[in-house]
Structure 1
Amino acid sequence: MKRVLIATEKPFAPAAVNQMVGILEQAGYEVKRLEKYASKAELLDAVKDVNALIVRSDIVDRAVLDAAKELQVVVRAGSGFDNLDLVTCTEKGMVAMNTPGQNSNAVAELAIGMMIFMSRGQFKGVSGTELKGKTIGVYGCGNIGRRVARIAQGLGMKVIALDPCITKVSMEPYDVKVVQNVAELFSESDFLSLHIPANEKTKKSVNFDMMNKMPKGATIINTARKEVIDEDGLKKMLEERPDFKYISDIAPTNHDELAGKFDFRYYSTPKKQGAETSEANVNAGVAAAEQIVAFFESGDQAYRVNK
C-alpha cells in the first residue's frame, strides 16, 4: 500500500483536506497528516516511511529528502516551487511537481486589489488616482500574469508584458503589447505587477536603476517572491522618489524600517496572501492529490519541475 504524507505547517482548509484524503483513500493509499508542526524534527520523522509527500510552503531540503528513504514523488500544492530542493530530488531519482494554475485567480485578484488600495491612498481618506487609462506592466505571463492582464483590461487599463516564454503572436488573443526588454517594461509602466520566479537571473533584479526608470507616480505590486527585489534599492527609491509606491504580500527584510518611514507609499501584508482563499486552497490541494494518484497509477509526470 502506498503511503502519502500531507505535511503542512500552515494547514489546508478542512474542506480541502477532506477531499484530498477521499481521493487518496479511494485509490487505496494510506494517508498520514502532519499539521501545524512545531519543529523540523517532526517532519523528518514523519517522512521516513512515505512514498509521496504533499506540502504547501514547507521547506523540502536535502535533510528532509535524506530522511525520506521511500519517497518517490513530492508535490508542492501551488505554482511556486522554490521551497523544493530540485537538485537533490533529481539526484535521488524523486519526482518533484507543482500544481500550476490552481491559485491563479486568487493571486491575480489580490494583485489588482493591491493596485486599487495603493492608488486610493490605502483608503485613508486622501485623494487618489483612477486606474482607467493607466498602463500596467505584467512581468511574467503565466497563468497569473494573463489573468491580471484580463482583469486590468476590464478596468480600462492598457496592458504591456514581458516574459521569456511569450512572443508577440502568442499574446495577440489577449490584446497585450509585448515589449522588447526589461528596461522598456519599467519605463512604460504606471503600475508594474511582478509574477516572476526567484532564480539566479531574477534575484535582486528589480533594483534601483530599473525602478527609477518608471514614470512619476508609479507603483510596483509584488505577489511573486521577496528575493526578486533589491531591498537596498527599494529603500533608496522610496527615499529619492517621493512619488513612488510599493506594495507586496511578502514583507522585505527591512519591512519595519520602510513601514515606519513611508506611510501611504509602502505596504506589506503580515503574511503571504496570494493563495489564501477557500477556492484556491481546495483547488491546489485536490490537484496535488490527483497528481499523486495519476503518477502512481499511470506514470503521469505532466507537472514535473525537476529534470
Structure 2
Amino acid sequence: MKVLVATEKPFAKIAVDGIRKEIEGAGYELALLEKYTDKAQLLEAVKDANAIIIRSDIIDAEVFDAAKELKIVVRAGAGYDNVDLQAATAHGVCVMNTPGQNSNAVAELVFGLLVYAVRHFYNGTAGTELMGKKLGIHAYGNVGRNVARVAKGFGMEVYAYDAFCPKEEIEKDGVKAVDSAKKLYKDCDIVSLHIPATAETKNSINYELLKDMPKGGILVNTARKEVINESELLKLMHEREDLKYITDIMPAANEKFVDFAGRYFSTPKKMGAQTAEANINAGIAAAKQIVGFLKEGCEKFRVNK
C-alpha cells in the first residue's frame, strides 16, 4: 500500500517524520509531493496512491479520475471544502478530516486578532479591554469550545449559538446558549464565526444578520470566507462607521475592504492552523486514521456518504 502526502504548503519536518513513523511502522510505503507548482504534478503522483494526506490542496473529480487505486483521502485539518465529496463517493473513496487537532491554534488566533482590533491596531490611541465584553460564538464545535475556554480567562461574558448542539451541552461549559443566530449578533459586542462552508451557510453572514450588532461591534472570521456575503458586509460597513471586521481569510473583495482604515484587518493568508503544534497534531492524526482505515476499516471521521 502506498500513502502519498500531497502538500503544496508542506508540513513541518517534524510532522513529516511523525507521519513517516506511523505509515512505515504499519508496513506501508510513504511518498512525498511537497511544494508542487502545477496540478499535472499532483495528477501524476496520485496514479498509484492508495491513500492521500492533504492540507488545503484541491482534490476534485479530475484527481479522483487519475487516482485509480485510491481508497481514502484525509484532510489534515477540520475544514474539507477543498475536497469534492460527491466525486469521492462516486469513485468509492472515503474522505476524512482530523477534527480538533487545530482547534486550540485557531482559538488563540481569534484572541490575537481581537486584542489587535480593540487596541485600534496599535496606532497609539487608547483602545478598550476584552474583560466584561459579551462574546458570541457562532457554532459550538471544537474551535468554539476552545474560544469559550480562552474567553473566560479574559473575563468575558460568553454566549453561543449552534443549531446542532443541544443547549445543555453548551451550558455545561458555563456558556449561555441563545436560540437564534439573530439574537447572538444582536446581543453580543463581538461575534466569533466558526461555521463550515456548506450549501446552507455560504453567504449566510449577511446584512440582515449583522445590521443589529451593538455599537462598536466586531466580527471575527477564522472559519471560511465563503460564509460571508461580502457585498452586504461592505454595504453595512459604509453605513455604520463603528463596525470592525477582522479575519485570517483575505476576502475576494479585499481591495474594497482596505478602504475601511482602522476597522478592517486580514492576514495575508489563512493562519488558523499555522502553529508547529497544530501542524504536527493534524499530520500525525491523518496518518493514524489512514492506518486505522486500511488495517481495520475504521471510518470514525468519514465526512462523505
Mapping of residues 61-210 of structure 1, within 5 Å:
61-210=60-209
> Of the candidates 289, 302, 305, which is equivalent to residue 303 of structure 2?
305
- 1:59-115: CA deviations, max 9, x gaps? 000000110000000000000010111111111111000000000000000011111
Q: 2:268 aligns with which of 267, 270, 289?
A: 270
Q: Is the partner of 1:272 in helix, strand or coil?
A: coil
For structure 1, which segment, 122-131 or 140-149, has the greater mean C-alpha deviation from structure 2 after superposition? 122-131
CA positional deviation for 1:224: 0.2
Partner in structure 2 of residue 18 of structure 1: 17
Which runs of 5 or more structure 2 residues have no equivalent in the other structure? none
Aligned letter for 1:284? Answer: A
Moved over 4 A (4+): none
Query: Could you tell me how far apart the structure 2 residues matched to 1:65 and 1:93 are?
Result: 10
Q: Does 1:284 align with 2:282?
A: yes
What's the offset of the Cα at 1:22?
1.4
* Residue matched to 1:237: 236
Rounded Cα–Cα distance in structure 1 between residues aligned with 2:247 and 2:94: 31
Per-residue CA deviations over 1:235-292 (Å, capped at 9, x if unaligned) read 1121111000000000111112211x11110000000000000000000000000110
Determine the C-alpha separation between the residues in 2 that align with 1:237 and 1:249: 20
* Deviation of 1:12 (Å): 0.2
**RMSD value over aligned CA atoms?**
0.7
Counterpart Cα distance in 2 of 1:194 and 1:10: 25
Query: TM-score by structure 2 length?
Result: 0.99
- Structure 1: unaligned runs, 5 residues or longer: none
Deviation at 1:210, TM superposition (A): 1.2
**What amino acid is aligned across from residue 273 of structure 1 in structure 2?**
M
The separation in 1 between residues aligned to 2:283 and 2:99, in whole angstroms, is 12
TM-score by length of 1: 0.98
**Aligned letter for 1:240?**
E
Counting matched residue pairs gives: 305
Q: Secondary structure at 2:78's aligned position in 1?
A: coil
| 2:255 aligned partner, one-letter code | D
Q: Which residue of 1 aligns with 2:227?
A: 228
Task: Return the alpha-carbon distance in structure 2 between the equivalents of residues 169 and 292 of structure 1.
Answer: 34
- The aligned residue for residue 293 of structure 2 is 295
Secondary structure of the structure 2 residue equivalent to 1:304: coil
Distance 1:82 1:280 in 2: 19
**Partner secondary structure for residue 232 of structure 1:** helix
CA distance in 1, matches of 2:128, 2:234: 23
